[in-house]
Every structure is written in C-alpha cells, then in structure tokens.
Chains A and B, each alone.
Chain A
Amino acid sequence: MSDSRLVQADRPTVTRRSFLKVTGAGATGGALLAMLDARQAPAQLKGTSLRVILWSHFVPAYDAWIDDFAKKWGEQNGATVRIDHIPHLELPARYAAEFAAGAGHDLIYFAGQILTGQYYRHLVDLSDLANDLGTRYGPWMPSAKSAAQVAGVWYAVPDYFISIPVLWRKDLFESVGRPAPKTWDDLRVAARLLRPKGHPTGMQFSHCNDANHNWRALLYCFGAKETDASGQSIELDSKETREALRFAKALYDEGMTPEVFSWDDASDNRYLASGVASWIHDAISAFRTTEDTNPKVFKETYVLPEAAGPGGTWNVGEPNVWAIWKFSKNVPAAKEFILAVANSQKEAMGASRGYNMPFLRRRYDKPMPGLGQDAKLGTLQEQDKITAFFGHPGPMTPAAQEVLTTFIVPDMFTRVARGASIDETMKWGVGEIRRIYAKHKAT
C-alpha cells in the first residue's frame, strides 16, 4: 500500500498562491531595503497628505525639531504633513474617539500608555519595518518587543523611551560626609541626614506618571516582579515586595515631607531647581530645567543611572511607540515617515538634549547625542542594559496597562507610607490586581 502523503511530499510544493506570497514579500522587502539604502521615499507619496499625532514633548525643542523635520520631509517627498501635539494623558481618549469614528490621524503614537495590546486588531502589521530597523541598527532591546508586539507580530515600532535616573546634589551629600550614592540604602541614609538640614528628598505618592515609574523602579530593584515573564501569573505577592514597601515607609518617614502626597510630574523638577531637594528620581528634564533656571544648583547636580537594590538595578522607563490605524488613508506615507525619523535618530536625540533614549542597541554606540559629551549625563549611555517597563518582567499587556492607569502600585506605597499595615496593603493591592487580570483573561 502506498502512502499518498509521501508521494505528495516528493512533488514540487510551489503553488500559485505560495509563489505569489513569496514573490510579493520579496518584492516588498526588496523595495523597502532599496529605499532604506537610498533614503528616499517612493514616488507614490507625491501629492498625498499625512496626519500625525504626537504628545507635547517635555523638551519643547524636540517638538520644534520634529515639526521642522516633518515639514522638510514633506517638501522632499511632495507630501503635506501635519503634526498635532496634544498632552500625553489625553492621547488614550483621542484614540478611543478615532477608533470609534473609524477616522483620524494616519500615524499615531502611544506615549507612556502603551495601547498596542488593546488595538492591535486594528493596527497595520509593521513587522517588515521593525525587522529592517532591527537589522540595520539593532538588535532591539528585549523589552521593546513587549511594547510593540502581540503574538510575535510588530503592530507598533518603538521610537524611544524616557529614562528616569537619580539626580543628586554632590555638595549636600558631601556636607553630611556621604560619598556618591550607588544604592537605595545610600540614598536613604543621605535623605535621613539631610532632611533636618532643610534638604529632604521626594518621590511622588500621588496619581501621576512619575509615581507609577518611581515606585516600580524601587520594587524591581528589590527583586519584586509584577507578573511572570509570560504576563499571565501575578507574582507581586512576595517577600521582595514587602521589603520594598518597608523600605519606602522608612524612606518617607526619615527623608521626606508630606508634600510628596500632592506632587504631580513636574513638582520634583521644581523641588530640585529650587535648591531644596537633596536628590530626586526623575527624567533628565529636571536636570535641564535646573540647568536653565538655577545654574548654581545645576553645577552641583549629578546623575546616577539607577540606584542598586538587593534585587539588582532596574530603571523603569516610559516607552513611546509609533502605530498606524488600518483605516489610515495613507499607510505608505506613515511607514515612510517612521522610517525617516528612525534614520534620523541621532539628530532627534540631540534635539531632545539626550532625553529620547533609543530602543535599538547599536544606537548606544558612544558618544550618544546629548549625553556623550556631557560629563554628568555620560553615565546614561548604558541605560539599555538596566531598563525595564511596567509589568516587568512580563509584557505590557492590556491588564498591565489597566493596573498602571488605576495607580494601584503607587497607592500601595502611599498606604504604607501613611501608616497602613503591609499585610493589609498587600491584600488590598494584590486583590485589585488579581481582579483586573481575571477580567482581562475572561475577555
């Protein structure tokens, strides 16, 4: 008896469908690579228009740069580009409205709040673009995939992340005999010594972005995990989390004032620039603000990429990614624009004064624009090695996103700082997180 499957296997397997698939993909890939080499957009962009939405960057000079870049890119390619900048916290509402209407911007941007997992069914597959960029400038940082991929498909292209290091005052540390900080314990001791001298520290115990990132950094440095690597199992209920909460309580009691309960994202910038803070945990926009407003304090301000904890050194970044609606009226131009910005990453990073940290490893070749020439900021040139994002070590799933936007983690720290028991707080926080994950699993 013959086995028909074996006979079939011996036959040539090229069908008309597979032939078209292979040649089509080859032609597309080839064209893209050719364009990458030539750095020139295809002719079909001429006469088209492209609407882009971006957040209002914390470094206004970057907004000016990208607007000018878009204008020039449009002129070179015969396309009209319009960029709308809106506050990052308003982006999710805008996307919900655009999605409901089935119309809006051709090229969108998830800033801090990563909605790739929510919208991926309605986003264009950008795997060709992301893979090519990975080949050219990569590899991608592993965490980049968590922001942009769903089931191995790139539905977004990572642009940059915002790093949130420790900014500390050398003169104040020296005044109490403390060396340059390396660990969270060093920071705590310094805060304890400096608060009585009128120089407390501060991290937000409130409902703002920085609170979400800062306390997560402490959690991860203590070895705590939000979920397992798959993002399916919640792992926050651990002794590491309890230790982190205990440490935060001590840090608050010894080194902070109640001001931190009211802070927004910019309060710590002002705290440093005013000369009051002994150290803060914030993006380098605070460093730049101080440079512009208080040169004396700026001269004494130094940068630590992240403080080490018993569980390692983990800096929590704020990711930013590009995406394209399937209903976009100009997908080719949107893809070309992403590519053009990625190709100009060095200029972009320079325009942001070192603020926009790349996701692509080879972009970390020293000296990095905005950082490499600066003796203090030069320490941030290896930030790719210590950066994690919310949900760590799991991916940025819709469930992780909801935990982020409902501020459960900062609220846990707030409760403990205010005197609630760690056990009660853990029970509450983990319970809330479990409820959210259970809901997302059910859908």
Chain B
Amino acid sequence: MGHLASGGGRSPGASLSVPVGGRAKALPWWRTPSVRRYLFGYTLLAPAVLYVGVLVGAPFLFSLYLALSDASVGAPVARFVGLENFTSALETGVFWTAVRNTLVFTVGAAVMKGFLGTTLAFLLVQPFKGRRVVRGLVVIPFTIPIAISVLGWKWMFDSQFSVLNWALSGLGLIGEYGTPDWPVWLGQPMLALASVMFVNVWRSFPFSAIVLLAGMTSVSPEIIDAAKVDGATFMQRFRKIIVPMIAPILFVGAAFDTVFTLSDLSIVYLLTNGGPDGATEILPTLAYNTGIRGGALGRGAAISLFLFPLLLPAMVLLLRTLRRRQY
C-alpha cells in the first residue's frame, strides 16, 4: 500500500518518496469536494426552505387536511370525508357566482392596474419640479391601512350621502337624489362589482407604477437615446426596448399583484360582504362566511382551496417565462 513519507524531523533536501503505481487514500464520500460543495449550498438554502415549509407548506397542508374532513370550528379533529366538501361546493350556485366574480375581479383589476400603473410610471419618470414629493404622495393609497381607506370609500359610495353622487348631480351629470338616475354604487349588481374592483385598483395601481418605475429607471438612458436617434417611436421604444429589459421585474410584480388581488378579502367584505344577492361574492368572502362565521371549517377550506388551481397556472406561466428570459 502506497503512502506519503512524512515525518516531523524531515531535513531540508530530504527526498519525498512517492509510491509509483499506488493509489491515494480515498476520502470518505461525505468529504469529497462535490458533496461538501452541495452540503454547503444546501446549508445556505436551508433557512429559506424551512421558512417556506413552516409558513407556507404547513398551513397549506393543514387547509388540505381540513378540506378533506368534516371539521368545524368547535371540532377540528374530524372525520375524513374525501372530496365531499369540494363536490358540495361545486353543486351550489353561489360557488359558481363566486368563481365568476373572482375571475372578473382579478382580471379586470389587473388590466386597469396595468394601464393606470404604466401611465403613472411614465409620468413619474419625466423630470419635473416636485417629482420626489409627487412620487411619495402617489403611494399613499397603498400605505393607508386597508380598513380605513375602504371605510372612506364606503362613505363615498353611500346610497344617500355619496359625495360622488352629490358632486355629479350638482354638475348635472346624473339625476337628483331619489330619481332612477341616481346611481346606487353598491346596490346595483354590475355597479357593485365595478365599485369593489375600482377600490382595489385605486389602492394597488400605485404599487404597479412604482414597480414599473423601478424597472424604467434601471434602463440606461443611452439605449433610449440611441433608439430615438434610430427613429423609434414612443410605442416602439416601450414595446421593443423597455418592456423586454424590465420583464423580470414586471413578471414578479404581476405575480405579486395576482396573488394579492385573488385573495383580497377586505375590500369586498367591508364594502358589500358579497351582496346584494351574491353580486360581489368572491371565493375569499364565501370561504370566510362559510368556514369561520358559519363554522363549517371543512367546507370553508375547500372553497378557499379552489383559489389554488386558479393561481397555479398563472404562477407557473409567469415563473417559467421569467426563467426562460433569465437563461
């Protein structure tokens, strides 16, 4: 067996004996460089995995457990009922109304936020006096506690004392109070859904604008100038240069916004609680009223889990596109 001649008393100039034809002593597998490298990498990753596992995975698995059981608020340890809660939800008309409203709410709000956020970002990227102050002010809707801002809107949409209606009526744009031309924002089905969407847009589009603005400021002005010199129009610069360059930021922002909007309970709960007659019912309010207020935890959890198949394709699409662009 070969070995390296060694010794503490080796004198300078002493020859190093290297066995010929022998093999170096094999390291145990866990000490090989590749394993150690992986181990180091996974150690660094562990806190994030643990965080996701505890704060996301565990609640998700728990809601899955609830959805497959007949658990109620007073009896969380319950009997396995298979997919009964899911089929029960699918059998009700209110559920399908909630699915439809949830999709309309999410997609409609996303489109409006995209349009308004982009417009605002372009305005805010221009140099003008007081730009920093204005940039600070536009995020106010996003920073006010949601309960307070929504209660403010509740007053503005009030059927009798709506400041919007009285102003519009004063301008002659709508009829007088008590006439059929007086809009009842939270009482007419289409208007009610539009109103809750509007509040969501009002609250969130500054976030979209800020995300876009952050991306736009990272695009080198030289590239834009070069495009201008080459004769690119505003829309061409936006579509061909700015959007592709800031796409990763846009995708992450869109992913966040979709999740926040789809699971937004507060606005609908505080403005209409899903009424009138389900006109603004969305999956989160239906799940809350069934599972928490009604006490049927299993059915509430099943309804809320229907958000998952709605979210999953959107998230997969966004993240895959993002990855393709990165590599």
The A374-404 residues at the B interface (CB cut-off 8 A) are 398, 401-402
- A253-B273 Cα distance, complex, nearest whole Å: 25
Selected contact of A118 from candidates B92, B188, B278, B295, CB within 8 Å: B295
Chain B, 77-95, contact with A by CB distance < 8 Å: what is the 0/1 string?
Answer: 0110000000010011110
User: A17-25, A360-368, A411-419: which lies at the B interface?
Assistant: A411-419
Expressed in whole angstroms, the minimum distance between the Cβ of B182 and any Cβ of chain A is 8
Q: A113-B293, A402-B296 are in contact. Are A276 and B160 (CB under 8 A)?
A: yes
Q: A208-B273, A258-B184 are in contact. Are A267 and B293 (CB under 8 A)?
A: no
Considering the complex, give the chain B residue whose CB is closest to the CB of A259. B159
Query: Is the beta-carbon distance between A207 and B276 smaller than 8 angstroms?
Result: yes
Query: Is the beta-carbon distance between B290 and A406 smaller than 8 angstroms?
Result: yes
Expressed in whole angstroms, the minimum distance between the Cβ of B165 and any Cβ of chain A is 11
Number of chain B interface residues as a range: 35 or more
Query: Is the beta-carbon distance between A270 and B73 smaller than 8 angstroms?
Result: no
- With a CB–CB cut-off of 8 A, which chain B residues contact A200? 178
B205 within 8 A of partner (CB): no
Query: Is the beta-carbon distance between B94 and A432 smaller than 8 angstroms?
Result: yes
- With a CB–CB cut-off of 8 A, which chain B residues contact A418? 277
Q: A99-B74, A207-B275, A405-B289 are in contact. Are A262 and B295 (CB under 8 A)?
A: no
Expressed in whole angstroms, the minimum distance between the Cβ of A273 and any Cβ of chain B is 10
Selected contact of A401 from candidates B278, B295, B297, CB within 8 Å: B295
B76 within 8 A of partner (CB): yes
Query: Is the beta-carbon distance between B292 and A121 smaller than 8 angstroms?
Result: no
Q: A271-B160, A398-B295 are in contact. Are A96 and B73 (CB under 8 A)?
A: yes
Expressed in whole angstroms, the minimum distance between the Cβ of B22 and any Cβ of chain A is 66
- A92-B276 Cα distance, complex, nearest whole Å: 22
Selected contact of A261 from candidates B75, B94, B187, B296, CB within 8 Å: B187
Query: Is the beta-carbon distance between B75 and A121 smaller than 8 angstroms?
Result: yes
Query: Is the beta-carbon distance between B289 and A442 smaller than 8 angstroms?
Result: no
Selected contact of A439 from candidates B93, B288, B299, CB within 8 Å: B299
Query: Is the beta-carbon distance between A120 and B160 smaller than 8 angstroms?
Result: no
Give 24 CB contacts A-B under 8 Å.
A92-B292, A93-B292, A96-B73, A117-B74, A118-B72, A120-B74, A121-B74, A205-B277, A206-B272, A206-B276, A207-B273, A207-B274, A262-B186, A262-B192, A267-B158, A267-B160, A270-B160, A270-B161, A407-B274, A410-B275, A411-B277, A435-B88, A435-B91, A439-B88
The B269-285 residues at the A interface (CB cut-off 8 A) are 272-278
- A147-B293 Cα distance, complex, nearest whole Å: 16
B294 within 8 A of partner (CB): yes
- A407-B187 Cα distance, complex, nearest whole Å: 16
Q: A198-B178, A257-B178, A402-B295 are in contact. Are A443 and B70 (CB under 8 A)?
A: yes
- With a CB–CB cut-off of 8 A, which chain A residues contact B274? 207, 407
User: What 13 new A-B contacts, CB under 8 Å, besides A89-B293, A99-B76, A207-B275?
Assistant: A93-B288, A95-B73, A96-B73, A96-B292, A96-B297, A206-B275, A261-B188, A264-B154, A405-B290, A406-B289, A406-B294, A407-B274, A418-B277
Query: Is the beta-carbon distance between A274 and B295 smaller than 8 angstroms?
Result: no
Q: For B157, B276, B278, which residue has the most chain A Cβ atoms within 10 angstroms?
A: B276
Q: For A117, A211, A411, which residue has the most chain B Cβ atoms within 10 angstroms?
A: A411
Chain B, 128-166, contact with A by CB distance < 8 Å: what is the 0/1 string?
Answer: 000000000000000000000000001001111100000
- A402-B161 Cα distance, complex, nearest whole Å: 33
Q: Interface majority SS on A: helix, strand, loop or mixed?
A: helix
Query: Is the beta-carbon distance between A115 and B272 smaller than 8 angstroms?
Result: no
Selected contact of B187 from candidates A96, A258, A415, CB within 8 Å: A258
10 closest cross-chain pairs (CB), A and B? A262-B187, A207-B275, A261-B187, A402-B294, A262-B186, A259-B159, A207-B273, A405-B293, A118-B74, A414-B277
A137 within 8 A of partner (CB): no
Considering the complex, give the chain A residue whose CB is closest to the CB of B279. A261
- A418-B189 Cα distance, complex, nearest whole Å: 11
- With a CB–CB cut-off of 8 A, which chain B residues contact A260? 187
Q: For A92, A205, A432, which residue has the most chain B Cβ atoms within 10 angstroms?
A: A92
- A319-B187 Cα distance, complex, nearest whole Å: 28
A6 within 8 A of partner (CB): no
- A187-B196 Cα distance, complex, nearest whole Å: 34
A100 within 8 A of partner (CB): yes
Expressed in whole angstroms, the minimum distance between the Cβ of A331 and any Cβ of chain B is 18
- With a CB–CB cut-off of 8 A, which chain A residues contact B192? 262
Q: A122-B74, A418-B277 are in contact. Are A405 and B294 (CB under 8 A)?
A: yes
Query: Is the beta-carbon distance between B92 and A435 smaller than 8 angstroms?
Result: yes
A263 within 8 A of partner (CB): yes
Q: A406-B94, A428-B93, A443-B70 are in contact. Are A261 and B160 (CB under 8 A)?
A: no
The A46-98 residues at the B interface (CB cut-off 8 A) are 89, 92-93, 95-96
Query: Is the beta-carbon distance between B159 and A207 smaller than 8 angstroms?
Result: no
The A113-138 residues at the B interface (CB cut-off 8 A) are 113, 115, 117-122
